[in-house]
Structure 1
Amino acid sequence: MAREELDKLTEGYIHDQESVYHTWFINNEDRLKAFRTIKKGLKKVISEIEARTFGNDFKGSSLETVVTAISEQKQIFAGAAHPFFWKPKLRIPDIYENSENQMAFGRFLNACLHATNAKQIFDEIVKLDQLKIKGLGPAVATIIYFLHPTLFPPFNTAIVRGFNTLFHKKLKLGSWMAYLEMREDILATNQQSSLSKDLGAFAGLLFEIGSGRLILPENSDEVLAAENEKRLKAVKKRHSQVLDDQIEENAHSEMQYHLARLGRALGYHVWIAQNDHKREYNGKKLGEYSLSALPLTNLSKSVFDTVSLIDVLWLSQNDQIVSGFEVEKSTSIYSGILRLYDLSLSVEQTCRLFLVAPNKREKEIKAQLMRPSFIKEQSLKSAMSYLLFSDLQCDCDAMCKFGTDIRILDPIARSV
């Protein structure tokens, strides 16, 4: 593709406010949080496979947690979990009943997790491909992307369709060798573009072409003749999703606002997640209700970076963490629990932990907190409760007026 054509294409992609470049790739802290969640989840998958406790189904497995964190990443990965579903009639993917294949899959994930360069991952892909594990194709590459986003692109039907349209090729969806060929073209072309080194940006461009939102001369006849109605539905659906995202972001900010207001009324110092300081609610930036800097100098950098992204923290006058709150409007409840668990392990003193979620997600919260891995953690079980949006919205003013400390939350705090 000529440089001029590429620049024109990427410019249109970047300036489309409803493209996945804006709705997923940039200005999306949930995407960045997903990298940490997926990496941590993969470590659990690997350890369970090595201990031979992984199980024989996708549902309820640690792998489901990882892939769910991927599929929650807006439109581009909506179907990421499908290739990993256990399909008993087809006996695929053959990693749930065949222990040797399962162990090979675990070794592959472990090697990719600890790889330091592209060649190491390339070699592991070739070895995995040679095993011919039934049903285990390059959908796994999307997991690799979240481990090494500048080295390997994600992979799904729409991305491949967009790639074939843009590069005039006919690569197959289920072939690892086709994926590696696609990767080479993506890397070479991305170096000429104005997009990020993170290959998710270019993959998003291919996704837009493959889903019919970006029309090129190469696919215009097909789109106009057979896909025009579908494209219009996709545009309408995307517009609706963007509006829903805005509503969700506003609800998330509202909960942070109520928690910040309540914390300050109770005499605590309040910290709002670093990446949310510029978000607004009621015409004011959330950073105005927060400490300008998090005064936890005794933490290591990695731990500090994790703690600073907790949605809301209440601290005592001597800067000890009293409680942490994770607001989960639509993102993974499991991810929120993990972040609060990390917080509990990071501080020496006892602090209370709260998930804050809409009423409709109460059953999901209960199910997640009853996972065997959490039930075994008695300290976490006793420290963690959850608050419902409706209770916080209705009772915040009264709690601000009559409360003296964190115990004012006891009447509305719920536990399993």
Structure 2
Amino acid sequence: MVEEIETGRFGVAYRGSSLETIVHSVAEQRQIFKGADHAFLWKPKLRIPDIYENPANQRAFGRLLHHCSGCSTADELLSGIRTIDQLKIKGLGPAVANLIYFLHPTHAPPFNTAIVNGYNAITGSKVKLGSWEHYLAMREGLLALNARYRDLLSNDLGALAGFLFDVGSGRYPAPPPDGDALSRQGWEERLAQARAEAVKFEKASAQQRETDRTHTEIQAWLRDLGRALGYRVWIAANDRSRLHDGARLGEGCLDQLPTALANGAGAESIRLIDVLWLDASPDRVAAAFEVEHSTTIYSGVVRMLDLALSGELHTSAGLFLVAPDSREGDVRAQLQRPAFSRISDLDVRYLPYGELDRHRGSIARFGSDLRGLTEISHRLT
């Protein structure tokens, strides 16, 4: 990104830029970074942040990141921050610290509304958003807190920031500053309730992680099987970066849909179909798969309808709802709803996880088309 800025290739928009790629990579790490891109989005009415219309400010921003990426001490880091603060670039404030934190997690804490609220609640401070001076003052306080409770925290300031985020976002209540016994009792009751809710949330999160793991695993099975049968494979655009066995799910698959699909009606829906198999020539879809682990089948069926109406299906294409063995009755019941009346026009088949797992190796080894999948799946309409 620094190189693009220095050579004038960065552009004048956040969307589609290298900065967007970086901020999204940061934001997906932890919940506390969700919404990190808001500070970098162009606000046309306010004309901020002023790093898109003003080339000098853009270059200063690039120099800051270049400087920080080469720093080895906290003093060097603070020098870079004070340099850009002197320029008073409109709309470019301490949200940049979220990027600097990933370069120097022991020197620069992340910064957002919830973290600031948590810090103020714990310390009684009045740190304000949007001010580098307030950020640097908070940083000093955080370093002192981190040193005091190092046995409970980490050298990485993200641990302390995560605690402050939980307090500032209301997940855990801050203790009453006056130390009143009655207030303290009320706080301890609220804390106990918050802890119980946290345990409940963690159990739900663990269940969701298992659901995501299974969904991704099935997509990987279908990806590998499709490639073994000689098809080109498309993985849903929003799932391509998911990891399976240490590798990106979309690795070795199509980076873009064929032009006819990408530019046709319903393209935004089609690009979210879990797995597509495409013939080598012509660019027609040979099979489409929607993995329905535990959710309703509505969105998956709608995407298949969009694909069918696009005209880009091969004449012998297969459409498969892939789900746990136990869900077939539920899926058949859902398809009886009036909203799915159009589904009778399609030859949609039910492919149980168990059948796919048992036979995918043999199909990959001995198969050459969709007949193996047709044999182990069940027609739904």
Q: TM-score, normalised by structure 2?
A: 0.58
Is the 2:41–2:49 Cα contact (8 Å) retained in structure 1?
yes
Deviation by residue 1:323-370 (Cα, 9 ceiling, x = unmatched): xx999997x745869x968x98xxxxxxx4589xxxxxx949949xxx
Tell me what 2:166 maps to.
208
Is the 2:219–2:291 Cα contact (8 Å) retained in structure 1?
no
Q: Give, as a single letter, the amino acid of the residue that structure 2 aligns with 1:402.
A: I
Tell me what 1:94 maps to.
50
- Cα distance, 1:165 vs. partner? 1.9
* CA–CA separation in structure 1 for the residues paired with 2:73 and 2:154: 19
Q: Secondary structure at the match of 2:51?
A: coil
Tell me what 1:199 maps to.
157
2:350 pairs with 1:397? no
Q: Secondary structure at the match of 1:186?
A: helix
Higher relative contact order (CA 8 A, sep 6+): 1
- Cα distance, 1:65 vs. partner? 1.9
Tell me what 1:161 maps to.
117
More helix by share: 1
Change (3 A) 1:259 1:90: closer
Structure 1 segments unaligned to the other structure (5+ residues) = 1-44, 225-230, 267-313, 315-324, 345-351, 356-361, 368-385
* CA–CA separation in structure 2 for the residues paired with 1:218 and 1:397: 62
Q: Secondary structure at the match of 2:39?
A: helix
- Cα distance, 1:46 vs. partner? 1.6
Q: Give, as a single letter, the amino acid of the residue that structure 1 aligns with 2:174.
A: I
* CA–CA separation in structure 2 for the residues paired with 1:134 and 1:76: 24
Is the 2:121–2:174 Cα contact (8 Å) retained in structure 1?
no
- Cα distance, 1:173 vs. partner? 1.2
Paired residues, what number? 275
Is the 2:235–2:253 Cα contact (8 Å) retained in structure 1?
no
Is the 2:363–2:372 Cα contact (8 Å) retained in structure 1?
no
Given candidates 119, 133, 144, the residue that maps to 1:177 is 133
Is the 1:158–1:210 Cα contact (8 Å) retained in structure 2?
yes
Q: Give, as a single letter, the amino acid of the residue that structure 1 aligns with 2:39.
A: P
Change (3 A) 1:219 1:200: farther
- Match runs of 1:321-332 below 5 Å: none
Given candidates 91, 104, 107, the residue that maps to 1:135 is 91
Q: Give, as a single letter, the amino acid of the residue that structure 2 aligns with 1:51.
A: T
- Cα distance, 1:185 vs. partner? 1.4
- Match runs of 1:234-273 below 5 Å: 242=202, 245-255=205-215
Change (3 A) 1:84 1:336: farther
Change (3 A) 1:95 1:329: closer
Q: Mean Cα displacement is larger for which, 80-89 or 233-242?
A: 233-242
Deviation by residue 1:102-156 (Cα, 9 ceiling, x = unmatched): 0110111111122222111110000010011000000100111111111111001
2:33 pairs with 1:81? no
Change (3 A) 1:197 1:84: same
Change (3 A) 1:60 1:91: same
* CA–CA separation in structure 2 for the residues paired with 1:83 and 1:199: 21
- Cα distance, 1:68 vs. partner? 2.0
* CA–CA separation in structure 1 for the residues paired with 2:137 and 2:11: 34
Deviation by residue 1:51-71 (Cα, 9 ceiling, x = unmatched): 212121222222122222233
- Cα distance, 1:247 vs. partner? 3.6
2:48 pairs with 1:104? no
- Cα distance, 1:85 vs. partner? 1.1
Structure 2 segments unaligned to the other structure (5+ residues) = 185-190, 228-232, 256-266, 273-287, 293-319, 324-350, 374-381
* CA–CA separation in structure 2 for the residues paired with 1:241 and 1:364: 31
RMSD, aligned α-carbons: 4.7
- Cα distance, 1:88 vs. partner? 0.9
* CA–CA separation in structure 1 for the residues paired with 2:179 and 2:198: 20
- Cα distance, 1:246 vs. partner? 2.5
- Match runs of 1:273-292 below 5 Å: none
If you compute each CA radius of gyration, which structure gives the higher value, 1 or 2? 2
